[in-house]
Amino acid sequence: MGTLSSPASKLGWDWERVPGLPRTHYLDNRMYTDEALFNDEKEKIFKAQWKFACHESEVPEPGGYRVINVADTAVAIIRGADNILRAFLNICPHRGAKLLRDVQGTIKGDRTTCFYHHWTFTTAGQCTTIPLPQGYSNEEINADNVHLKAVNLESLHGLVFVNLSSSPSQTLKDFLGSAMEQIEAPLSDLEVFHYHRVVVKANWKLFVETNCEGYHELLHLLNRTTALSQPSYLQRKWLLHPNGHHTFQPANIAYNKLKLGDRGTDTLNGMTPNMHVVTDLFPDVMINVRSTVVRIDSLIPVEPGLTILECRGLGPKSDTETQRRARVKQHNQVWGPMGRNLPEDIWAIETQWANMTAHEYPYSLVAREDNDQATDDSPVRSFYAKWQELTGVSSFDIHAPFKNGVAHEQ
Ligand code: FES
Ligand SMILES: [Fe+2]
């Protein structure tokens, strides 16, 4: 029998060389897999910027708390007896045990006690009791002197953000700028009615990318049928805001084309029937409003190839039982764990990740120029402009020198 062979000859596309593009239009795939860069991202992006924490409705009553993870740091959002929201490291100042051990709960009587040696704190972070205090000969160690470490917290339109920097360079309002304008009205008076987490075997940035380019709508049966099938849909524009945030202009979605019913009643404030808007906040938040429901996705990067995606569904606090039932159904049609789009997005990026780790595919293209319309890659490029500014790393070559905020060719 003769041998079968297939020479690895070039078929026209040179995998090793970028085809004459501006350096903003392709990405060095080592940015997804590089361990040191991943650790840098945690320090320079997730800990140094405003990071979405939760929605105010998750901590509705005095004493309520929610523990979140920001770049491996446990942060407790606590509503004080005075109804003020505060954030603290969820770390006991005595010997570092976890103070609040549930993800969410209520502190009764304005006092919480560390389970290890029973130091006790108020919801405002002040220590009230150190058992057997006579054992401390150093007089600085007394309850009056001890408090939990405060973390910067600000909230806007019901969204709670924290910033682990000791001196944030901007207020939350300045950081978000005009990016929230389009969703201020629909975000009013909401509460979280749905929460789930997904373990994604992919780098966190791959999920961000899928949320800020409309070209991938081709992946989704729902989007092909109810959006792209409309002749005007491709004219839908992205608006780029400072700091790497983007908004996707309103469009009407033809849910009936997929027999999903009309979304003509109980629309949220500022929304018209079947209207859809998207707001992406740097670095990791997507707020997706489909006329009657809001979805907020955010990310917890765990390892270069492991990310926890948090998905929240929100509707008006004032809903009757019947209204809420309809809203939950509409939410789940698209976004629930058994919905259509989320598994498709994750499927796509997990296949990307698997191939990135083989290091045989050096560059990804973000080169589409469609006049900022739906399929333009400009939102991805704008995300990486901010990413470069914060990490000091060139997105087209992670080993290229980066000086004075500008990347240089090797
Ligand atoms: S570690 Fe909390 S009281 Fe000792
Ligand atoms: Fe998608």
Q: Give the nearest ligand 1 atom to 97 CA.
A: 1
Tens-digit pLDDT profile for residues 26-39: 999 999 999 999 99
> Which of 308, 274, 93, 296 is closest to 197 using CA atoms?
308
Q: Which of 91, 95, 100, 120 to mutate to test the pocket of ligand 1 (most atoms within 8 A of CB)?
A: 95
Single residue among 153, 169, 185 that ends a domain in this structure = 169
Condensed to tens digits (0 to 9), the pLDDT of residues 80-136 reads 999 999 999 999 999 999 999 999 999 999 999 999 999 999 999 999 999 999 999
Task: Report which bound ligand comes closest to the CA of 94.
Answer: 1
| Cβ atoms of 260 and 250 closer than 8 Å | no
Give the residue carrying structure tokens 């005007």: 232
Q: Please write the tens of the pLDDT for every residue from 4-28.
A: 776 666 667 777 778 889 999 999 9
DSSP character at residue 181:
G
Q: Taking the C-alpha atoms of 314, 316, 317 and 323 in order, what is their torsion angle to the nearest 10 degrees? A: -100
pLDDT at site 340: 82
Question: What is the residue range of 226's domain?
Answer: 177-391
pLDDT one-digit tens code per residue, 151-196? 999 999 999 999 999 999 999 999 999 999 999 999 999 999 999 9
Residue 165 and residue 190 in one domain: no
Question: Does residue 118 share a domain with residue 242?
Answer: no
| Ligand 1 within 6 A of CB of 119 | yes
Centre of ligand 1 to C-alpha 302, Å, is 27
Per DSSP (E only), the strands in 284-341 are: 285-290, 293-303, 306-316
List the Cα angle 9/14/18 in 5-degree steps: 170
Residue with CA closest to ligand 1 atom 3: 117
Whether 9 maps to a domain, the answer reads no
Instruction: Kindly state whether residues 281 and 223 are assigned to the same domain.
Output: yes
SS3 track for 361-382: CCEEECCCCCCCECCCCHHHHH
Q: How far apart are CA 363 and CA 183, in angstroms?
A: 35
Is residue 408 a part of any domain in this protein?
no
Answer yes or no: do 70 and 154 share one domain: yes
- Domain for residue 268, yes or no? yes
Amino acid 268: pLDDT: 97
Among residues 134, 169, 204, the one where a domain terminates is: 169
Q: Are residues 93 and 122 in the same domain?
A: yes
Contact 291, 273 (CB under 8 A): yes
The Cα 289–Cα 192 span in angstroms is 14
Distance CA(153)–CA(70), nearest Å, equals 13
279 CA to centre of ligand 2 in angstroms: 14
CATH code for the domain of 325: 3.90.380.10
Torsion angle of alpha carbons 386, 391, 395, 401, nearest 10°? 130
Domain boundary, last residue among 148, 169, 190: 169
